[in-house]
Amino acid sequence: MAAREPYTELQPDYSSADAAATAWSAAVGGMTEAEIFWLSTVRPDGRPHVTPLLAVWADGALHFATGPEERKARNLAADPRCVLTTSTVGGNDLHTGLDVVVEGEAARVEDDTTLLGLADLYVQKYGDEWRFEVRDGAFHHSGHRALVFRVEPVTAFGFGRGDTYSQTRWRFDGGE
């Protein structure tokens, strides 16, 4: 799948006077390296739900897995809109790093060939502890089944920290 290039703009009202927009490639690099992501979904009654998880970047999207009975999977079944958030180098340090926020819709990945590639990425990124067997359109590990979701960015934000603070917005396909 060809990578989509976003419309990139610096948000000057929330950036240092000498800031420049962060390149999308820097955000992708950060998401590729980041280990922990925070997934925000909406419960059927409208209350928010946020949980940490592991994710991999592939083919222009973030991918994550969750058990079909878990709250996040049930939330996504009712409303696929979600947000994934992570921090790059510096983590929660105020003066270093880049925070990346990706807004989109979660779509199930059920093709075993695609899932095999994603399973390999989990092992490459997180080690053998995260080795999944792929069958019947899902990941399997230690007797548990996990659904795999893909979130292509619609809109994303980058919050650069350091000597210069910046807020960048990336829009894909007319995202707000």
Q: Which residue has the tokens 């999207």?
A: 61
pLDDT of residue 176: 53
Cα distance between residue 47 and residue 96, in whole Å: 32
Residue 128 within any structural domain of the chain: yes
Tens of pLDDT along the chain (176 residues) come to 556 789 999 988 889 899 999 999 999 999 999 999 999 999 999 999 999 999 999 999 999 999 999 999 999 999 999 999 999 866 667 778 899 999 999 999 999 999 999 999 999 999 999 999 999 999 999 999 999 999 999 999 999 988 889 999 999 975 55
Q: What angle do CA 53, 58, 64 make, to 5 degrees?
A: 20
pLDDT of residue 88: 80
pTM, two decimals, is 0.93
Residue 164 within any structural domain of the chain: no
Q: In sequence order, what E strands does 43-131 have?
A: 48-53, 56-58, 61-66, 81-87, 97-109
- CATH of residue 98's domain is 2.30.110.10
By residue range, what is the domain housing residue 40? 23-154
Contact 141, 79 (CB under 8 A): no
Contact 72, 121 (CB under 8 A): no
Q: Which residue has the tokens 């976003």?
A: 6
Residue 8 within any structural domain of the chain: no
- Picking from 148, 153, 167, 160, the residue whose alpha carbon sits closest to that of residue 63 is 148
Would you say the C-alpha torsion 149, 60, 24, 55 has a positive or negative sign? positive
Residue 18 within any structural domain of the chain: no
Total of domains in the chain: 1
Size (the chain), residues: 176
Residue 168 within any structural domain of the chain: no
Cβ neighbours, 10 Å, residue 81: 15
